[in-house]
Amino acid sequence: MEVNIDFKRSLMPLFGNTFSPKKTPPRKSASLSSLHTLDRSTREIELGLESGPPAMNLGGQSWKFEDGQWITESGGNASTKEVHRLKKRNLQLEEENNLLKSKIEVLMDMLTETTVEYHLMEKEIEDMKTQHRRKK
């Protein structure tokens, strides 16, 4: 083993101690947009002075994003009364869903209890049959 260490030491000056590549110069970032080449008035026409909140049109209804929520703009198809009616219906359905979940839970408890009673009765019958056979 000592021979290998000496051999490695004799080769080290040949190849150098560490690998250190030359550092590349940083690249100059080039803008992909051609808007910086336009004069101010053309840029204002292209971009507008104020962009405002994002807006979109879905199914003939205009929406805009304000305060973290999409809000329908006036003149849309959905009236305030319809929205109120839909919210009320949604609340009713949620309450009905909660009631049905509770009923399912009670039914599952009843089924479990009945199954346990059935298995106990079945075991008692088997025990009685076994005792009856022993008496004979």
CA distance 32 to 73: 35
Residue 103 lies in a domain: no
Most confident range, picked from 20-24, 71-75, 89-93:
89-93
Residue 115 lies in a domain: no
Residue 52 lies in a domain: yes
Residue 110 lies in a domain: no
Name the domain count of the chain. 1
Residue 51 lies in a domain: yes
Q: What percent of the chain has pLDDT over 70?
A: 68
Mean pLDDT of 25-41: 70
Residue 4 lies in a domain: no
Q: Is the pLDDT of residue 51 over 60?
A: yes
Residue 62 lies in a domain: yes
Return the pLDDT at 1. 45
The residue segments making up the domain with residue 50 are 41-78
Which residues, including other chains, have CB under 8 Å from residue 71's CB and lie 6 or more apart? 63, 64, 65
